[in-house]
């Protein structure tokens, strides 16, 4: 199909118009900082997070999507694709490839058969492709004479094809990189995995071949597209996401990475001058200080202290990580890695605590 016609390794012919001037680009929206985070957490829209990663001549693409079924189970799609050397791409090309991979996923979910079964309901849905690349988003929302036209055309054609079938509305959304948006962090992680050798490298892979690989990968990994059917919102509820789960995951992600509103992080990245906590001790407001020490949250901390017992103070234990710490006897505190499991109760309670303080989000 059309994919065969994309080969960016060949000399690109740049047309004066990427698409006929009477056709519009794809709707796009740009949100800043906290606004982006709030949108990611609160909006009912279906989100597909994409990201690209580069190191040397290697590049990787990550795609992350999750949706809730009517029985509350969550369908997740994670995709990591490595694009090898000498593919003749720019960073924007790779970001655009990630967007196209997201569209192919949406297209696979909303096959003509599925749409036929759901009638007009599909049209009422909006899928938002979330990227932290402004250049890629600009390129497809206002296509002009520029490099990467082949992928841009493909993106626009795929979007129009989904629309023509009566499928969902598609919007692009920019969020700043590392705005503590969970799905974005996951896509970022996947893109990194793609280049860090956890996947088999595909030698001499061109962008178009990578794209095909993406599609094959998508079809393999995607849970039967029909499964998504039951996740469709009824007339009574717009929510297709398990927001509660999402918020909890966001909280845990912030605590684990330390990228959060606790004063030590904005100070570290130069966004504020002081890393001190507002409590009397004037200590740096780190995750450790926040979870274990800060006197401002004594009340909120009580249940957590109860469930933690004698493990109080071992931060990794509270965040679901395994400790390499040894007991005086020389034994590993957490036992062998093979038999270790995180203490889910304690992790849940840590999340409850953080949410109760209202300090994170
Ligand atoms: Zn404090």
Distance from the alpha carbon of residue 262 to the mean position of ligand 1, in angstroms: 10
- Between 300 and 1, where is the model more confident? 300
Q: Average pLDDT in the 253-277 region?
A: 82
Distance from the alpha carbon of residue 34 to the mean position of ligand 1, in angstroms: 23
Quote the pLDDT of residue 88: 62
Q: What is the CA radius of gyration of the chain?
A: 23
Indicate if the pLDDT at residue 227 is higher than 50. no
- Between 1 and 122, where is the model more confident? 122
Q: Average pLDDT in the 159-170 region?
A: 90
Distance from the alpha carbon of residue 276 to the mean position of ligand 1, in angstroms: 8
β-bridge pairing 58-68 and 74-83: antiparallel
Quote the pLDDT of residue 245: 63
Q: How does the average pLDDT of the chain come out, rounded?
A: 73
Distance from the alpha carbon of residue 199 to the mean position of ligand 1, in angstroms: 43
Distance from the alpha carbon of residue 290 to the mean position of ligand 1, in angstroms: 6
The string over 296-312, giving b where at least 16 C-beta atoms fall within 10 Å of a residue's C-beta and e elsewhere, is: bbeebbeebeebbeeee
Q: Average pLDDT in the 270-284 region?
A: 83
Quote the pLDDT of residue 237: 27
Quote the pLDDT of residue 241: 32
* pTM passes above 0.75: no
Q: In this structure, which residues have their CB less than 5 angstroms from ion ligand 1?
A: 277, 279, 294
Distance from the alpha carbon of residue 160 to the mean position of ligand 1, in angstroms: 53
The string over 104-117, giving b where at least 16 C-beta atoms fall within 10 Å of a residue's C-beta and e elsewhere, is: bbbbbbbeeebbee
Q: Average pLDDT in the 164-181 region?
A: 84
Distance from the alpha carbon of residue 315 to the mean position of ligand 1, in angstroms: 16
Indicate if the pLDDT at residue 181 is higher than 60. yes
Tens of pLDDT, residue by residue over 11-22, are 444 444 444 544
Distance from the alpha carbon of residue 353 to the mean position of ligand 1, in angstroms: 15
- Between 80 and 205, where is the model more confident? 80
pLDDT confidence bin for 145, thresholds 50/70/90: low
Tens of pLDDT, residue by residue over 316-353, are 888 877 766 777 787 777 777 777 777 778 888 999 99
Quote the pLDDT of residue 24: 65
CATH numbers and ranges of domains, the chain: 2-241 (3.30.420.10), 255-357 (no CATH)
Distance from the alpha carbon of residue 358 to the mean position of ligand 1, in angstroms: 14
Distance from the alpha carbon of residue 40 to the mean position of ligand 1, in angstroms: 28
Indicate if the pLDDT at residue 38 is higher than 70. yes
Ranked by mean pLDDT, the top range of 50-64, 85-99, 100-114, 119-133 is 119-133
Tens of pLDDT, residue by residue over 198-213, are 444 333 333 444 444 4
Distance from the alpha carbon of residue 264 to the mean position of ligand 1, in angstroms: 11
Quote the pLDDT of residue 300: 93
Quote the pLDDT of residue 303: 92
Closest CA to 206 of 50, 97, 100, 99: 97
Distance from the alpha carbon of residue 281 to the mean position of ligand 1, in angstroms: 6
Distance from the alpha carbon of residue 291 to the mean position of ligand 1, in angstroms: 10
Query: Is 255 in contact with 262 (CB distance < 8 Å)?
Result: no
Distance from the alpha carbon of residue 350 to the mean position of ligand 1, in angstroms: 17
């Amino acid at each position: 199909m059309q994919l065969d016609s994309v080969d960016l390794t060949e000399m690109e012919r740049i047309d004066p118009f990427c698409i006929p001037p009477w056709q519009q680009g794809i709707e796009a929206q740009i949100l800043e900082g906290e606004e982006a985070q709030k949108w990611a957490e609160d909006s009912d829209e279906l989100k597909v997070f994409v990201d690209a990663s580069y190191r040397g001549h290697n590049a990787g693409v990550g795609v992350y999507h999750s949706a809730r079924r009517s029985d509350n189970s969550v369908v997740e799609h994670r995709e990591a694709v490595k694009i090898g050397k000498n593919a003749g791409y720019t960073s924007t090309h790779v970001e655009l490839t990630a967007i196209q991979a997201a569209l192919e996923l949406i297209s696979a979910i909303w096959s003509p058969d599925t749409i036929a079964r759901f009638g007009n309901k599909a049209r009422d849905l909006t899928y938002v492709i979330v990227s932290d690349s402004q250049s890629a988003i600009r390129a497809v929302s206002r296509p002009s004479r520029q490099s990467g036209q082949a992928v841009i055309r493909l993106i626009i054609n795929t979007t129009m094809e989904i629309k023509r079938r009566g499928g969902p509305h598609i919007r692009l959304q920019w969020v700043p990189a590392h705005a503590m948006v969970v799905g974005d962090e996951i896509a970022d992680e996947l893109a990194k995995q793609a280049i860090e050798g956890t996947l088999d490298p595909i030698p001499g892979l061109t962008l178009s071949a990578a794209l095909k690989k993406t599609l094959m990968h998508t079809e393999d990994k995607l849970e039967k597209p029909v499964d998504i059917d039951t996740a469709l919102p009824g007339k009574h509820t717009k929510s297709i996401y398990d927001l509660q789960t999402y918020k909890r995951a966001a909280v845990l992600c912030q605590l684990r990475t330390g990228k959060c509103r606790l004063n030590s992080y904005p100070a570290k990245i130069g966004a504020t001058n002081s890393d001190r906590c507002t409590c009397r001790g004037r200590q740096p407001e780190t995750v450790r200080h926040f979870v274990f020490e800060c006197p401002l949250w004594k009340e909120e901390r009580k249940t957590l202290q109860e469930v933690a017992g004698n493990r109080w103070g071992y931060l990794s234990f509270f965040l679901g990580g395994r400790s390499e710490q040894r007991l005086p006897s020389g034994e590993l505190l957490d036992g062998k890695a093979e038999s270790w499991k995180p203490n889910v109760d304690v992790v849940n309670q840590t999340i409850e605590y953080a949410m109760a303080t209202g300090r994170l989000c």
